Structure 1
Amino acid sequence: MAEFKLVLRKKPNREGKLPLTLRITKDRKSSFIHLGYHLHEDEWDDKNQRVKKSHPNSARLNNLIRKKLSEANDHSIELETQKSYVSATAVKQKVKPAAGSTFFAQAEVWQQRLKEAGKYNQYTADKPRIKHFKEFLKQDIAFADITVAMLERFKAYLQTKHGHSERSAVNHIVMIRSVFSHAIKEEVIDPKYYPFGKGKMKIKFPESSKIGLTQDEITRLENVPLEGTLDHVRNLWLFSYYFAGMRISDLLRLKWSDFQDDRLHYEMGKNSKSGSLKIPDKAVKIIKHYKTFQQNKDDMVFPELKGVDLSDKFITQRTIAFKTSAIDKQLKTQVATAAKIEKKLTMHLARHSFAQVASDKIPVQILQKLYRHSSILTTMGYQSNFTTQQTDDALDAVLNMEQKPKLEK
């Protein structure tokens, strides 16, 4: 009869965590199955074969471990019943699919990792995408069986059956790539099964049009009389615009301690880049308004995240998502109407609006610093959506060209 034991292998990942494996021993020969989980050495109780309570998800992981051990024993007994001799490798081959090497088993682990990392937005976006892929396949599938042809059929299925746009369909493929990358990193599958890259499936997002408010529309937004909540959401939009299109996820996290020496110092959440910006004169009025509600130097500038445990990244992102949805709804349905703006007014439009107004006025190298892009190519690509002066001048030059009189013969 094969023996099973859970062991931490000694090869750490980039985070310094060790892979948890199921060791199968038969006739003094062992095989190992990676379970898709990594732990710090002091989080594992080897004697009792349990994840220690110091791990934030110990109860859930211990339940999964017990389930996997039970499944492994069941498969081993099944093989022993069918054959007179069974090797450790044979037991491994029988157990491995149940131990998490199939796509949806790893997708579940991937979702849990996103949740643990506090990535609420990606977690909630990928959850229905995984569901759609499962509906398409109608069963779990080995990574080796996911081919380029299958991915193309899945894209077509999304667009014809569910009416998804090209961008939405591509996002589903990106989710599948993410689960593949996770499984390869965790050494659950062989990289040779990766169906993306040169000569395989290429992921290309369709171009999307970006448009911001004009200077005239921004002026109307600044001057329209608003009260209460509508005045507040208008302030949030303008504050974002005044600080080079600051993302709302960064805006709502601002604390009074971030303001020092007439400058705003903050770390951008998307890429963890730090920097500071001079406080524009137009932003001072907004700052003074909210200053009256300040309780201490570490208090939040805006009320949306007051009382939220910011150390819990998942809860923080979830709260930001809910608040952003409510803010955007008021901007689109009430503030835009009051300011006579026909464009879809959202918080993200503040970023596009800054880019549009700045397009022909500020050198791209300076814009790169304002946006905190790692590559200037990213800035150039983004600004190309708004830089129209040269093409406008070229069009005028052609259409306004006077036809020269022909010489008489």
Structure 2
Amino acid sequence: MNTLITLMLDQRRMKKDGKYPIIFRLTHNRKTTSISTGFSVLETEWDEKKREVKSNYKKVESVRLLNIILLKENARINEILNKLYDKGELQYISINQVKQFITRKVNYSSFLEYGNHLVKELISVRRFGTARTYEFTLKIMQTFTQKIDIKFNEVNYDFLKRFEKFHLSKEDNNLNGLAFYMRTIRAIYNKGIKDGCIDKEAYPFSEYKIRVTPTKKRALDITHIKKILDLQLPVGHELFHTRNYFLISYMLYGMPFMDMAFLKVGDIKNGRVIYQRKKTLKNYDIKISDTLYKILKFYNKHKLKQDFIFPIIMREKPEQQYQDVIRLRTMYNDKLKKIAHICNIEQSLSSYVSRHSFATNAMLQNIPLQAISAMLGHSKLNTTQIYLKSLPNKILDEYNERLSVSL
């Protein structure tokens, strides 16, 4: 086989910061070309003999993980070359055609196999929540079909309608639960089109429309928020942290529980909370109010900058940390029901209620929709409008009374 792939540092192309790109040098029929890995390092950070990044490279959390990624990519490329050779095609195609085969991200005909490929990718970049959603949906699809495999061309309009009937036939299942699965299937399918697994003409969601039913109001009015704020609980009380987490989330633009769990002492700078949201990667810079300062002061005692603020994450490995948060969030939601009972709040409380309450109460204070959208970290105004789609009945009654008086 007259084809060779070599991982190397491209010292012909120094960047402005003095780094060199890490590339795969492809040699085919005495011609060469390069394939980017997307990574760059200084010459002193590259081990030419071992063809890997040295441990003194500090731009990633784990050099070992980076080297594993490069090693896996090297194995993937060699697998492609071997398959082309075994088919007898390699010697008859140009170097550019070989490169196209390599740079094509995936080549799956199986929807399940491709979906599981995405799960692994998501886990590798620590997007455990989305990975969990994908994995769960793929298992439900497999249960529905009772098949080991599902091909891309099988996921068509007829499949979606049959899956819908299957889901809704189960007791307590509803359209909103179905929409959760369908959005995930749609997301995987869209990625599959981009990666060349299936033609866009086969896209089933052009005909199939995802439906939802209106949910109950989630937002608490400000009087209920004040009830929770005024709740006096000793430090050892089982609801002490629950009450604090709810209020902290509310006062930090409705911060999700996941982001709150990963906050570190070092994220507090000059009286502000500065962090990046896990889901959207949006950066936040929020001024700490006097009320919030008093709560945070309790948690920050005797801690270092690198310490987590709240006693939620107890383990070191990223996947274990995610599991810690999921476990504590479930307990948090259960305890919020007890908070609601103590404060005589009839509405069901959950970790999402603080976020919806923040959005609704911001609107009732006449804060512009664009500002509320920015605070929530939404890229589109219609996403914010979903949070604000149902005004409290009390407000609607007042508006109606004003109109009646004017008659």
Q: Give the TM-score of the pair, scaled to structure 1.
A: 0.69
Are 1:124 and 2:136 matched, yes or no? Answer: no
* Cα distance in 2 between the residues matched to 1:41 and 1:355: 40
Q: Could you report, residue by residue, the CA deviation over 1:264-296 in whole angstroms, capped at 9, with x for unpaired residues? A: 22222222222322211111211221232x322
Are 1:56 and 2:56 matched, yes or no? Answer: no
Check whether the contact 1:241–1:354 (CA below 8 A) recurs between aligned residues. yes
Residue 238 of structure 1: CA displacement? Answer: 1.0
Are 1:246 and 2:255 matched, yes or no? Answer: yes
The equivalent residue for 2:334 is: 329
Q: Indicate the SS of the match to 1:266.
A: strand
Residue 68 of structure 1: CA displacement? Answer: 9.8
Letter paired with 1:374? S
The equivalent residue for 1:46 is: none
Are 1:379 and 2:391 matched, yes or no? Answer: no
1:195 to 179, 182, 204: 204
Classify 1:103/1:214 alpha carbon distance in 2 versus 1 (closer, same or farther; 3 Å). Answer: same
Classify 1:219/1:321 alpha carbon distance in 2 versus 1 (closer, same or farther; 3 Å). Answer: same
* Cα distance in 2 between the residues matched to 1:177 and 1:7: 36
Q: Indicate the SS of the match to 2:279.
A: coil
Greater Cα radius of gyration, structure 1 or 2:
1
Check whether the contact 2:333–2:351 (CA below 8 A) recurs between aligned residues. yes
Q: RMSD of aligned C-alpha atoms? A: 4.2
Classify 1:6/1:141 alpha carbon distance in 2 versus 1 (closer, same or farther; 3 Å). Answer: farther
The equivalent residue for 2:310 is: 302
Residue 160 of structure 1: CA displacement? Answer: 0.6
Are 1:355 and 2:367 matched, yes or no? Answer: no
1:157 to 154, 157, 166: 166
Residue 185 of structure 1: CA displacement? Answer: 2.4
Letter paired with 1:210? K
What aligned pairs does 1:103-122 form with structure 2 within 5 A after superposition? Answer: 103-122=111-130
Letter paired with 1:280? S
Q: Indicate the SS of the match to 1:286.
A: helix
Q: Could you report, residue by residue, the CA deviation over 1:341-388 in whole angstroms, capped at 9, with x for unpaired residues? A: 332222221112223333321322432232232233433342233365
Are 1:208 and 2:212 matched, yes or no? Answer: no
Identity %: 24
Letter paired with 1:362? N
* Cα distance in 2 between the residues matched to 1:112 and 1:17: 23
Check whether the contact 2:218–2:357 (CA below 8 A) recurs between aligned residues. yes
Q: Indicate the SS of the match to 1:303.
A: coil
1:320 to 307, 325, 328: 325
Q: Indicate the SS of the match to 1:264.
A: strand
The equivalent residue for 1:338 is: 342
Classify 1:268/1:388 alpha carbon distance in 2 versus 1 (closer, same or farther; 3 Å). Answer: farther
Classify 1:259/1:41 alpha carbon distance in 2 versus 1 (closer, same or farther; 3 Å). Answer: closer
* Cα distance in 1 between the residues matched to 2:349 and 2:172: 25
* Cα distance in 2 between the residues matched to 1:186 and 1:72: 19
Q: Could you report, residue by residue, the CA deviation over 1:172-223 in whole angstroms, capped at 9, with x for unpaired residues? A: 22222222223222223322222223xx223344332332223332222222
Check whether the contact 2:267–2:274 (CA below 8 A) recurs between aligned residues. yes
Letter paired with 2:167? L
Check whether the contact 1:110–1:182 (CA below 8 A) recurs between aligned residues. no
1:271 to 280, 287, 308: 280
Q: Indicate the SS of the match to 2:239.
A: helix
Between the two proteins, the alignment pairs up a number of residues equal to 345
Classify 1:121/1:155 alpha carbon distance in 2 versus 1 (closer, same or farther; 3 Å). Answer: same
2:110 to 102, 106, 116: 102
Classify 1:55/1:196 alpha carbon distance in 2 versus 1 (closer, same or farther; 3 Å). Answer: farther
The equivalent residue for 2:240 is: 231
Letter paired with 2:398? D
Check whether the contact 2:315–2:321 (CA below 8 A) recurs between aligned residues. no
Residue 240 of structure 1: CA displacement? Answer: 1.1
Are 1:167 and 2:179 matched, yes or no? Answer: no
- Structure 1 residues without counterparts, runs of 5 or longer: 9-15, 24-37, 43-50, 77-86, 89-98, 405-409
Residue 63 of structure 1: CA displacement? Answer: 9.7
Are 1:391 and 2:396 matched, yes or no? Answer: yes
What aligned pairs does 1:18-97 form with structure 2 within 5 A after superposition? Answer: 55-56=67-68
* Cα distance in 2 between the residues matched to 1:348 and 1:17: 43
Classify 1:144/1:238 alpha carbon distance in 2 versus 1 (closer, same or farther; 3 Å). Answer: same
Residue 166 of structure 1: CA displacement? Answer: 0.5
- Structure 2 residues without counterparts, runs of 5 or longer: 7-20, 29-35, 41-51, 54-63, 94-106
Which shows bigger deviation, 187-196 or 379-388? 379-388
1:259 to 268, 273, 281: 268
Letter paired with 1:206? T
Check whether the contact 1:300–1:306 (CA below 8 A) recurs between aligned residues. no
Residue 393 of structure 1: CA displacement? Answer: 3.2
* Cα distance in 1 between the residues matched to 2:345 and 2:22: 53
Classify 1:241/1:300 alpha carbon distance in 2 versus 1 (closer, same or farther; 3 Å). Answer: same
2:149 to 123, 130, 140: 140
Q: Give the TM-score of the pair, scaled to structure 2.
A: 0.70
Residue 150 of structure 1: CA displacement? Answer: 2.0
